[in-house]
Each structure stands twice: as structure tokens, then as C-alpha cells.
Amino acid sequence: MTLSVNTLFFASYRDLVGASTLEVELSEGATVGDLVDELRRRGAPFDALPEEPAVAVNQTYALLDEPLGPGDEVAFIPPVAGG
Amino acid sequence: MTLSVNTLFFASYRDLVGASTLEVELSEGATVGDLVDELRRRGAPFDALPEEPAVAVNQTYALLDEPLGPGDEVAFIPPVAGG
Amino acid sequence: MSARVVHCAVGPDVIDPVDVLSRVGSDEDGAALLFVGVVRNHADGRPVSGMRYDAYAEMARKELASIAHEAAQRLGTDRVAVEHRTGELSIGDVSVAIAVSSPHRAESFDAARYVIEEIKKRLPVWKKEHYDDGSDGWVEGTVPPGTGRRVPAMPDAEVEG
Amino acid sequence: MSARVVHCAVGPDVIDPVDVLSRVGSDEDGAALLFVGVVRNHADGRPVSGMRYDAYAEMARKELASIAHEAAQRLGTDRVAVEHRTGELSIGDVSVAIAVSSPHRAESFDAARYVIEEIKKRLPVWKKEHYDDGSDGWVEGTVPPGTGRRVPAMPDAEVEG
């Protein structure tokens, strides 16, 4: 069994990855941290993402051990600079 | 020898004294404190003025031992409440 | 930095806060702050229908200029504009407007706060509240520092004999 | 007190700070404060010609609403209005406007400051500076709290065994 999540990249992470969205298949029970590890294992350019990035799941900041569900929206959030 | 100063009363002090200005004759070498003492000696309503009021001499806050000169403008300043 | 400020006034004219704000700002400034003091409909829980502001006008102008100059030193720019109104004011009328701008926000917050706190401490202005029951009373105020004593305060707690 | 706020927006529309200020205020309020963030012509000593603000728009709207609600709790009133702009901005353009009002001034200063500080810490917005030499670069930002770690922080320094 797998689950599919919709991954978003913003600002410098979008520049790095070269895409703003990416659909990723994960094993059932995967956490945000597993998603990060999966992407980094794919090599360049994903291995340049930080090991412990800030992330939001369904538009709320989340820790990396948060479990994911099918269709979750996971955003990689570079250090923010509003105002 | 005497000197004459122009004394101003504002807000609650004006209500108390019943006048906004008063010319006062003082001995040469008199200080602001001497002016306060002289007024308070005159009895009602002046004896209701505080013994150590806030004062401004020529529009600058002053201590009570500041010496006065002829024609000085001495304002009795009730507790302020701007803003 | 400059001790000039862009604008400073005390008097009976109606205050337009937007005009006061428009006097500050520069291409170098990333932050602008406007503080507006307004006559409110209550004081210490008592309904208020209006307020009269009296001032020692000539001295208040000088003192407000001093406060603004001190704020400019803290701000690091000359972009300080402040107006204080006198006379009879109604609920919602603006009694004071303070605008500042600076490259970074911390200095603007600090300087605007400084101006209003010093106004409350030092500006020779008094207000009489008009209560809903038709009575009125002077607002209890603050004794300005540096006056009202017979001798200057000792600069040090202990003096060698 | 109410957790509602009067106005909150993130988007590409031009911000009118006077309109934002006009959304707060009440007969009960003696203080109103307006903070305006503006694109300035320099960053870390380097001349800047403009700025692009990117946002995770849907999340930024929710997060700004949370910040405004938290500020309202501190303020003790629902009179909080805030707008954050996105897109390409020129020098002098307003990037953010925050207005608050309250019976007394301390709460207004505290709440306005809270909103801008939390925006800088948490709002998913990024800015790219355009330099005078034609190059550009992302502004170094702040890692939001409560994310980016594998395990939650311990609530207490010591845990009994």
C-alpha cells in the first residue's frame, strides 16, 4: 500500500528544485521526515534540500515526525522574510 | 531694592487663585521658593498652593532655589495631563 | 544625526493624522509609525462627553520641540512630526498625532513611544473632562521631573565626607 | 475578549494605509496606532531598486489571521486590521500595514509590535531584492518556530524518572 502526497516548493527551494509542485509516492505510515529522506535519496537537485527543513502540512507548520495521509499537501518552507 | 516678576497660573491653580496672572514684588536676590513663600503668606486662596509646586521660569522647568531677575515669567504648573 | 525635526505644533487647529503621517518617510526608510490619541467616551469607568485641553502655549511649543528633537536622536533620522491640539474636543476628536519613520522598525516604535510618554510627563497641558451628568473635573496629572524641589537631587547616593 | 478581528488580507492589491487605519477605532478607544512597512532603497548597505514578494498565499492568509487573533487577545479589543502585499514592489511601495486601536496606548503599542514581529517569524512570505547592478537575491529569512525538527521539544528541562 502506498500514499501519494502533493509537495510544494517556494522561493529559494523552488529555484533549487526547479519546480513548484511534485507528487510523491510514499509507503503507508510515512511521516514528513520520510518524505524528506525519500526526496534527498533521489540525488541532485533534491539532495541540496536541508535534512530538517521547515514544513507545513495542509497549510499548518508541522514537525518532521508528523504522519502523512493520502492527498496531503506538504510545503517546503525556506526561512521566511515577510514584512 | 525690589524686583517685580510676572506670575502665571494654569488649570486647577488658576481656578484656585481666581486669576491667570499676578505681578509680585520681591526683594532683590529672591528665589522661586521665596516667591512661593511670599504668596502662601498672603493667606487664602494662595495658602492652598503647594509648598513645593512645579514651576517654570521663562518657560523652562526650574528648581525652587533658582534666583529670579526683574521681569521674569514664573508659571505655576499643576500636574500635567497632555496626550 | 540631525536634531532637526520635520514638524511640530501645539494649538487649536483640527489635527489631520494623515497629513502628519505624510510629513515623514523617505526612500531610505523601511518603517513608518503613526500614533493617534483620541478623546474617548469614558475615564476610569465614568462616561465622558468631551474634553477641554488647556496649555501654557508658548512653553508647550518649546517643550514639544525638545521632546521631538530627543526622539530624533533616538530615531537616527529627522523624520518626526507631531501635533498636539488645544481647546474644546468632542468624543473621537484627535488630541495628538505623532508620526516617525526610520530605516528599521525598532527605532520607529521606540521613538513614537518616547514622544507620547514624554508628552504625558512634561508637556504643560491640562485637560478638563466633561461628564455625562453635566459636571466636569481636571484630569489628575503627573508632576514633571526636574522641578518643584528646593534643592537639586544628589547625583550620587553617597557623598564622601 | 473577542478573537475576531476587523480586517486581514494577503494579496497583490495596492495597500492604502489610511484605509487600513480607518478600519479600527471606536468611541471607547483613546489610542490608535498604524505601522507601515515600505520598500526601502538599501539593504545591508547595498542599493536596492525593488523587491518581489512571494507567498504561500492560502497558508499566509490563515497564518496572518492567527497572528491578528493573537494580537486581538493582547489588545483586549477586536480592532486589528492588517494587509500584506505580494508581487513586484518599487521603492516607497507599502508592503505591509497594521492598524490597531484600544482604550489605552500601551496595548496598542504592544499589539502592533506583536503583529509585525510574528509576521517576520511565521508568515510564509519571501522576498527577492533587485539590486541596482541588475542582479537579485532572496533575502535571508527566519526559520519559523514549531517545525523543521524530528521530535517535539521537551516541555520541561528535567523529567522525573
Domain extents for chain A? 2-77
Q: Which amino acid is at A51?
A: E
| 3-state class (DSSP) for residue D98 | strand
Give the integer Cα–Cα distance in Å for B77 and C84. Answer: 18
Please indicate whether, in this complex, the C-beta atoms of C96 and B33 are within 8 angstroms of each other.
Answer: no
Task: Considering only the beta carbons, identify the residue of D28, D40, D113 that sits closest to C27.
Answer: D40
User: Please, do chains A and D touch (3+ CB pairs < 8 Å)?
Assistant: yes
Handedness of CA A26, A31, A37, A39 (dihedral sign): positive
How many CB atoms neighbour CB A6 within 10 A?
13
Average of per-residue pLDDT across C14-43:
97
Average of per-residue pLDDT across C142-154:
81
Task: Considering only the beta carbons, identify the residue of D37, D56, D141 that sits closest to A79.
Answer: D141
Fold of D7-138: Aldehyde Oxidoreductase; domain 3 (3.90.1170)
Distance from CA of C60 to the nearest CA of B (A): 8
CB pairs under 8 A between A and D: 107
How many CB atoms neighbour CB C5 within 10 A?
25
Block residue for cell numbers 502662601: B40
Cell of B15: 481656578
Average of per-residue pLDDT across C121-145:
96
ipTM of this model? 0.93
Q: Give the class (CATH, top level) of A2-77.
A: alpha beta
How does residue B31 score in pLDDT terms, banded at 50, 70 and 90? very high
Please indicate whether, in this complex, the C-beta atoms of C140 and B8 are within 8 angstroms of each other.
Answer: no
pLDDT of the residue at C1: 40
Please say if the pLDDT value at position D4 is more than 70. no
Cis before B45 (ω within 30): yes
pLDDT, averaged across chain C: 92
Is C84 an interface residue toward B (CB < 8 Å)?
yes
Average of per-residue pLDDT across A12-18:
97
User: Please, do chains A and B touch (3+ CB pairs < 8 Å)?
Assistant: no
pLDDT, averaged across chain B: 97
Distance from CA of A16 to the nearest CA of D (A): 12
Q: Is A3 exposed, middle or buried (0-12, 13-18, 19+ CB in 10 A)?
A: middle
The more confidently predicted of residues D149 and C42 is: C42
Is A20 an interface residue toward D (CB < 8 Å)?
no
Sheet with A73-77, side-by-side order of all strands: A21-27, A2-9, A73-77, A54-57, A60-62
Please indicate whether, in this complex, the C-beta atoms of C38 and D32 are within 8 angstroms of each other.
Answer: yes
Cell of B43: 493667606
Length of chain C: 161
Q: State the pTM of this model.
A: 0.93
How far is the CA of C91 from the CAs of B7, C46, C52, C116, C132, in angstroms? 34, 14, 11, 20, 12
How does residue C16 score in pLDDT terms, banded at 50, 70 and 90? very high
How far is the CA of A21 from the CAs of A7, C4, D123, D127, in angstroms? 5, 53, 20, 20
pLDDT of the residue at C6: 87
β-strand partners of D79: none
Task: Considering only the beta carbons, identify the residue of A10, A12, A64 that sits closest to D150.
Answer: A64
Strands (E), chain A: 2-9, 21-27, 54-57, 60-62, 73-77
Answer for the pair C114, C98: CB distance below 8 angstroms, yes or no. no
Share of chain D above pLDDT 90, in %: 86
Cell of B76: 505655576
Q: What is the pLDDT of residues B61-81, one digit of tens each?
A: 999 999 999 999 999 999 999
| 3-state class (DSSP) for residue A5 | strand
- Best residue of D150, D151, D154 to probe chain A, by most A CBs closer than 10 Å: D150
CB pairs under 8 A between B and C: 108
| 3-state class (DSSP) for residue C147 | coil
- In this structure, are strands A73-77 and A2-9 parallel, antiparallel, or unpaired? parallel
Q: What is the pLDDT of residues D125-142, one digit of tens each?
A: 999 999 999 999 999 999
Please say if the pLDDT value at position C159 is more than 70. no
Is C120 an interface residue toward B (CB < 8 Å)?
yes
Give B-chain residues touching C98 at CB under 8 angstroms.
Answer: none
Please indicate whether, in this complex, the C-beta atoms of A81 and D140 are within 8 angstroms of each other.
Answer: yes
Is D57 an interface residue toward A (CB < 8 Å)?
no
Give the integer Cα–Cα distance in Å for A83 and D126. Answer: 9
Which residue of B lies nearest to C95 if distances are taken between CA atoms?
Answer: B83
Please indicate whether, in this complex, the C-beta atoms of B81 and C143 are within 8 angstroms of each other.
Answer: no
Q: Which amino acid is at D69?
A: H
Task: Considering only the beta carbons, identify the residue of D33, D37, D42 that sits closest to C35.
Answer: D33
Reading phi first (left if > 0) and then psi (alpha if -120 to 50, else beta), residue A11 is in left
Task: Considering only the beta carbons, identify the residue of B11, B59, B64 that sits closest to C59.
Answer: B59
Average of per-residue pLDDT across C96-112:
98
Q: What is the pLDDT of residues D73-112, one digit of tens each?
A: 999 999 999 999 999 999 999 999 999 999 999 999 999 9
How does residue D161 score in pLDDT terms, banded at 50, 70 and 90? very low
Please indicate whether, in this complex, the C-beta atoms of D29 and C42 are within 8 angstroms of each other.
Answer: no
Please indicate whether, in this complex, the C-beta atoms of C40 and D30 are within 8 angstroms of each other.
Answer: yes
Which residue of B lies nearest to C129 if distances are taken between CA atoms?
Answer: B81
Please indicate whether, in this complex, the C-beta atoms of B59 and C62 are within 8 angstroms of each other.
Answer: yes
pLDDT of the residue at A14: 97
